Chain A
């Protein structure tokens, strides 16, 4: 029977990235996937006859350019089209448009508040500073503060050096940024409600926090630190949907000799003598490997993929307490044509970007209050895009596909989810959009509504958490997923983790996969094929 060098459980983008770097180093790698398609939450599927859509993640920006280059993803067919701006609609019929063109943007902010137009320049510059600093930490393994190893000490020294490149005042401002709520952070800059709301939205996406919760300023950064073609902070669409990202990584992986098996659900990781020796499939087949990597979230990895008897007791407790509450839903809609937004001038380019319908911090915070009580938001925050305006490959000519990300949606409303409740949740979202677009409801051909229940069932995101673990300080850096296990090595020998439950966390970034590959190759004494970060650009 064949003994692989490495088996990776789960063909999400991190699993494939991990596999690609291992295969590139000459290992014989097998990726196993439960579903019949690869990509996990990064897949393009059929929404409606002739309509394609990105199943979960829907825009692209965070993917590390270093990985893109190292795996030659351009040659494997990945093309990212930059997205143009965004817009927040106000209840009074006005709107705030965010344009890439600096003078247009400035004029637009000044329309709402002259003071904020000046503040916006300062804010952009500050945010960019923190982005550049934090980006340098993404493709590195977090050091363990409890360790006395030289490597950890060196890594701390490196981080401190980066940190000390800031002035004293900047150091404090950075700490403040890391620990403040987005609302309070922004209130230091801005006065206008619509501008505050416009900037805050990004920092609650996917979290179990509200705009007034400390720690959300960092989440904004988590969403802003990506780039498209070197433009930090901008977002893009993958041509052909997000499935193109996993397809390209998969293709790169195969070009290095890797093997993918879909429809192969793994039941257990086999551990013999405190060493991982392979996996047992649901079909009963056992496949052996010298190294086993789990791309499932920390809860699934330690509470279902591994047997309790193979694990230290405290680790099981940690896994049980791992915070992975889902807070988001998704509505994907096939449209018969392009909806009108009468608030915008005719022919406005703003429909090309992200669209939002929340205009005050209070509405954002109240949406969170609903979630805290296990209800879906009566007045949710949505992040809506219509990618078919750029990418005609995803719908028939003249028709459109709309992707609506919804914050907040509870893991389980009182009494549990039913199909009726799911539809009621969807109706709330559709009604909100309908308030701003009179012909929208008539254009709907098909709407697919997904709550955390559906996200968990289909792509195996526990509780529907899009980051595979909340991004709070107890689960970031050397605490992610658990203190003492943040360097991608599992509790038994030859077992590793590469999912977004690990540093630096969720978003289609590929960084956990690459970082994990670096640690594996290091332990095996192989040449490191993973890229170094580009550094300050």
Chain B
């Protein structure tokens, strides 16, 4: 019998936990090192004022991938209704639109838009499904492919050619590389509908609706939604459920253990050194942090090839979303919205020009004067998040670039004010309800969650940073130029969101490599 391999996972975010659990399940001895006081990373809850808790950093519309839920037997105590949260695009006059799975409704919508939306969702969801073989495996190399790579490419080719059929494949090849602006203009009339859909394509990215590549980011989001294994109302439990399942699998979790550097011996990774000075040895080290942190900070550029470092250094991951948590004295009243509707995911993006203008500022190191907002009031479904009668509102504000020209320190209050004002245009009583507020700029997210740039996806989801080029080529198949060191974070293929697929793929890869080397 071969010796049990000892594995260290740096970072207990959801991808790290998933990767750890898979490995522990097949007999590895796995330890997760978490810098913060609890695991879960961006998926963990956060107490931002006494008695008020925000469930997580992101307001994702989808959860952990189905296959992972099944493999790891993840159990969510899902509440009442099974259907996904709706997205409600707010209109200042009260003519809101409700976007549910595959259909849209709203007083102001024309029948042709309603029909077009159904057809559009069907078509785009079929593209998202067709990409599945590529997403659930390591991205194939384009030269010197191994058997797995060839299989992935063949499956992808088959699913595009025969899964989609001639007409849809042609259409997919046409729109796949362009911007969502042109596609939505071709398809719909309603400015609010177009605004909401384009917001979905750009939130979390440094892109505007007119930026080519936004069809891809929209597909990425749909892909997460289509294959989501848990009701998104259960998203708040993700951190907890994953921690439970990893502990059950025998993973040991060490919190408050920030890693200082990765220890190398003759260009092989042999363990890590903690900030506390403690050294932990291991056969395999897996980094759940982004590529920049892993290679440039934890490993150190002197151990790496110059061109490789240059590529890592060039990865674009300037975060552009700020998170705001509000403690509210009561529910805000938005014209034309019932309490049940208030519990859904709300979006402020009145039209595509609004979103594009919001993005214009980000290009020049300014925050949007009229930001795109994504909101939820989780305390409606879960009263334990706030004291009786009070509420918690989570807001993602786009665009708030990581690096402001004048620096964030002097601009924090001004930006919070901008967000409150924007909300006030839809809920007149909003500002009077605010008891506490917390602003997490990308700079704060970088510092507190250990993600360079504070980028949701640990790197822009652009074509040049996707698939076999994610995070950079030379390290896109989860292994790295350093023996024994692997990546499993959102910065790897297929990117961020709550899917957990990077952690899944990385675990598969490590298991395959260990098998072949035994």
Contact = CB atoms under 8 A, between A and B. Distances in A.
A4 B468 CA distance: 53
A473 B178 contact: yes
B464 A180 contact: yes
A497 to B, nearest CB: 18
A290 interface: no
A475 to B, nearest CB: 8
B182 interface: yes
Interface in B158-213: 161, 166, 169-171, 173-178, 182, 186, 210-213
Contacts of A321: 186
Given A146-B170, A169-B473, A169-B474, A473 B141 contact: no
B463 A179 contact: yes
B316 interface: yes
A412 B337 CA distance: 39
A472 B212 contact: yes
A372 B210 CA distance: 9
Interface in A157-195: 164, 167-169, 171-172, 175-176, 179-180, 184, 187-188
B422 interface: no
A411 to B, nearest CB: 14
Main secondary structure of the interface of A (DSSP, over half): helix
A362 interface: yes
Interface stretch (A99-107, A108-116, A207-215, A512-520): A207-215
A474 interface: yes
A145 B173 contact: yes
Contact of A168 (B144, B186, B210): B144
Nearest to B185: A321
A179 B464 contact: yes
B120 to A, nearest CB: 14
Contacts of B463: 175, 179, 214
Contacts of B178: 472-474
Contacts of A212: 211, 363
B473 A172 contact: yes
In the complex, which range does the number of interface residues on chain A fall in?
A: 35 or more
Contacts of A366: 364
Contacts of B174: 474, 479, 483
A365 interface: yes
Contact size range, B:
35 or more
Contacts of B473: 168-169, 172
Interface in A371-392: 372-373
Given A168-B142, A479-B173, A479-B174, A179 B182 contact: no
Name B's interface SS: helix
B83 to A, nearest CB: 34
B477 to A, nearest CB: 12
B360 A369 contact: yes
Contacts of A209: 212
Given A169-B474, A184-B316, A209-B212, A215 B177 contact: yes
A175 B176 contact: no
A187 B142 CA distance: 26
B356 interface: yes
A209 B212 CA distance: 9
A478 B173 contact: yes
Given A168-B144, A169-B474, A214-B463, A473 B363 contact: no
A120 to B, nearest CB: 16
A214 B213 contact: yes
A483 B462 contact: no
A172 B472 CA distance: 9
B515 interface: no
A323 B182 contact: yes
Contacts of A184: 316
A484 interface: yes
B142 A172 contact: yes
Contacts of B169: 145-146
B469 interface: yes
B212 A215 contact: yes
Nearest to A373: B353
B314 interface: yes
Contacts of A168: 141-144, 473
A483 B171 contact: yes
A474 B469 contact: no
Query: Most chain-A CB neighbours within 10 Å: which of B166, B310, B364?
Result: B166
A483 B173 contact: yes
Nearest to B466: A179
Given A179-B462, A214-B212, A484 B142 contact: no
The winner among B176, B212, B353 for most chain A CB atoms within 10 A is B212
Contact of B170 (A164, A169, A180, A483): A483
B469 A175 contact: yes
Contacts of A362: 363-364
Contacts of A472: 177-178, 212
A355 to B, nearest CB: 26
Interface in A198-216: 209, 212-215
Nearest to A169: B473
Contact of B177 (A164, A176, A474, A483): A474
Nearest to B166: A146
Interface in B139-154: 141-144
A157 to B, nearest CB: 14
A518 B31 CA distance: 65
Contact of A214 (B141, B161, B462): B462
Given A145-B173, A321-B186, A372-B356, A172 B468 contact: yes
A179 B173 contact: no
B312 to A, nearest CB: 12
Contacts of B177: 179, 215, 472-474
Given A171-B143, A179-B463, A473 B171 contact: no
A483 B468 CA distance: 26
B169 to A, nearest CB: 6
Nearest to B186: A321
A478 B144 CA distance: 27
Contacts of B143: 164, 167-168, 171
Contacts of B474: 169
Contacts of A365: 363-364
A213 B464 contact: no
Nearest to B161: A146
A215 B178 CA distance: 9
A516 B199 CA distance: 42
Nearest to A478: B173
A512 to B, nearest CB: 19
A484 B462 contact: no
Contact of A175 (B161, B310, B464): B464
A392 to B, nearest CB: 44
Given A214-B212, A215-B212, A171 B142 contact: yes
22 contacts: A146-B161, A146-B169, A164-B143, A168-B473, A176-B464, A179-B213, A179-B463, A179-B464, A188-B310, A212-B211, A214-B211, A215-B177, A215-B212, A365-B363, A372-B210, A372-B356, A373-B353, A473-B178, A473-B212, A474-B175, A474-B182, A483-B170
Given A172-B468, A473-B177, 12 more contacts: A168-B141, A172-B142, A209-B212, A212-B211, A214-B463, A365-B363, A365-B364, A372-B356, A472-B212, A474-B175, A478-B173, A483-B173
Task: Pick the 4 closest A-B CB pairs, nearest first.
Answer: A473-B177, A179-B463, A483-B170, A168-B143
Interface of A: 145-146, 164, 167-169, 171-172, 175-176, 179-180, 184, 187-188, 209, 212-215, 321, 323, 362, 365-366, 369, 372-373, 472-474, 478-479, 483-484
Interface of B: 141-144, 161, 166, 169-171, 173-178, 182, 186, 210-213, 310, 314, 316, 353, 356, 360, 363-364, 462-464, 468-469, 473-474
